[in-house]
Chains A and B, each alone.
Chain A
């Protein structure tokens, strides 16, 4: 009447199956599995996210062309035409062609900054940013920025820049191609220079440079536009910016 070993095993198996599962053990095993999935998701998110950074995306596709007026990747375009006076400060202007407030401030200060650049009272450097395209998920800041850089070889960057702000189209929507042609015409780009501009615009020649400027500005702590910096210090406007306030700030920053 003794049970065979196999019979005892099957009886024990039945007892084990009938016993309620240990909730604490299930909880632990499931929790560990869940934790692994979570860690995996976070690693994946960081890896995928890193691939969207401007330097990473442009390094994969872009060229290494820097526009005339910029001293290298990440550097702004110097629009100073006059001989720089002794002790003249550097005025760094960070703006995004899609930003409506940049248009407003440029309408107020543009004439003055152009005068400062022409007289050599300040070294005026435009840092053309493009982060609003990422915020709105549209195509505006980057194509206009590239088209503006395409005007630089013809010596018309500043003219194109001013025309692009004056004729700024609606924020959040893609910029129409016709608008870019209009800016080029208003900037006075004609003939073979216009052909070169069109080729450059279509080829997106300065995509890498524009990404590098955005990256450099972010690293320099520029988190919004427009930002005006004199010798590296942000100008804090007490109220609405005025030409007089800018002139005074430049005078105060000029080394005697």
Chain B
């Protein structure tokens, strides 16, 4: 038995779980940072990848982007595009963390607030990358199988 686009019914529930993991993580990450824009700006600046002022703007914008994207993914609205954007964001994060690691910086990723320099022994680059890989995988799945249980896409637009 297959649904639209060859989706099997159980896959709709896998997509729901993937949506809740990725969307929930983005929502949490954004919510924990949105009230401290200055700290978020410094966390981005600490990576020393972008020019100083541009990094600040990215830091100010990132929490609200995460909240909006997380909310849309959790609600299942425009699942295909928001899941793709969520996965893309995670790939950017992974690249940033890997770059900091490769350059020998000792950073807290600042993923869920905080950030900046920490002791070399306190870095958690492998764990942070593994966690973001999981989120990216959830996004990739929801992109490939966007039809999911309990989604606003179904409610509002039907099974288009």
Chain A residues within CB distance 8 Å of chain B: 23-24, 26-27, 30-31, 34, 38, 41-42, 44-46, 48-50, 52-54, 101, 131, 134-135, 137, 218-219, 221, 223-224
Q: A45-B61, A45-B63 are in contact. Are A24 and B160 (CB under 8 A)?
A: yes
A42 proximity list for chain B (CB < 8 A): 61, 64-65
Complex Cα distance, B123 from A224, in Å, reads: 13
Q: Determine whether B6 belongs to the interface, using a CB cutoff of 8 Å to chain A.
A: no
Whether the Cβ atoms of B157 and A223 lie closer than 8 Å is no
Nearest residue, chain A, Cβ from B107: A223
A131 proximity list for chain B (CB < 8 A): 39, 42, 116
Chain B residues within CB distance 8 Å of chain A: 34, 36-42, 45-46, 48, 52, 56-57, 59-61, 63-65, 68, 77-78, 106-107, 114, 116-119, 156-158, 160
Complex Cα distance, B24 from A186, in Å, reads: 51
- Shortest CB distance B46–A (Å): 4
- Shortest CB distance A24–B (Å): 6
Whether the Cβ atoms of A53 and B45 lie closer than 8 Å is no
Q: List 21 A-B contacts (CB under 8 A).
A: A23-B158, A23-B160, A27-B160, A38-B68, A41-B64, A41-B68, A45-B63, A48-B37, A49-B38, A49-B40, A49-B61, A53-B38, A53-B56, A101-B119, A131-B116, A135-B36, A135-B114, A218-B52, A223-B42, A223-B45, A223-B116
Whether the Cβ atoms of A219 and B41 lie closer than 8 Å is no
B64 proximity list for chain A (CB < 8 A): 41-42, 44-45
Complex Cα distance, B60 from A131, in Å, reads: 16
Q: A38-B68, A134-B36 are in contact. Are A31 and B59 (CB under 8 A)?
A: no
Whether the Cβ atoms of A134 and B118 lie closer than 8 Å is no
The DSSP consensus for interface residues of chain A is helix
A218 proximity list for chain B (CB < 8 A): 42, 45, 52
Whether the Cβ atoms of B116 and A45 lie closer than 8 Å is no
Residue among B38, B52, B107, B114 with max Cβ neighbours from chain A (10 Å)? B38
Whether the Cβ atoms of A46 and B61 lie closer than 8 Å is yes
Nearest 9 pairs between A and B by C-beta? A224-B117, A49-B60, A49-B37, A223-B46, A45-B64, A223-B117, A23-B157, A46-B60, A52-B38
Complex Cα distance, B106 from A213, in Å, reads: 22
B59 proximity list for chain A (CB < 8 A): 49
- Shortest CB distance A233–B (Å): 14
B77 proximity list for chain A (CB < 8 A): 34
The DSSP consensus for interface residues of chain B is helix
10 more contacts with CB within 8 A, not counting A42-B64, A50-B60, A52-B37, are A23-B158, A24-B157, A42-B61, A45-B61, A131-B116, A134-B42, A135-B39, A135-B114, A137-B36, A223-B107
- Shortest CB distance A228–B (Å): 13
Complex Cα distance, B56 from A33, in Å, reads: 27
Residue among A46, A137, A219 with max Cβ neighbours from chain B (10 Å)? A46
B117 proximity list for chain A (CB < 8 A): 223-224
B45 proximity list for chain A (CB < 8 A): 218, 223
Complex Cα distance, B39 from A218, in Å, reads: 12
Whether the Cβ atoms of B57 and A46 lie closer than 8 Å is yes
Whether the Cβ atoms of B41 and A30 lie closer than 8 Å is no
A27 proximity list for chain B (CB < 8 A): 156-157, 160
B52 proximity list for chain A (CB < 8 A): 218-219
Complex Cα distance, B16 from A164, in Å, reads: 54
- Shortest CB distance B122–A (Å): 11
Whether the Cβ atoms of A221 and B41 lie closer than 8 Å is no
Complex Cα distance, B82 from A31, in Å, reads: 11
B78 proximity list for chain A (CB < 8 A): 31, 34
Complex Cα distance, B51 from A79, in Å, reads: 32
B37 proximity list for chain A (CB < 8 A): 45, 48-49, 52
- Shortest CB distance A21–B (Å): 10
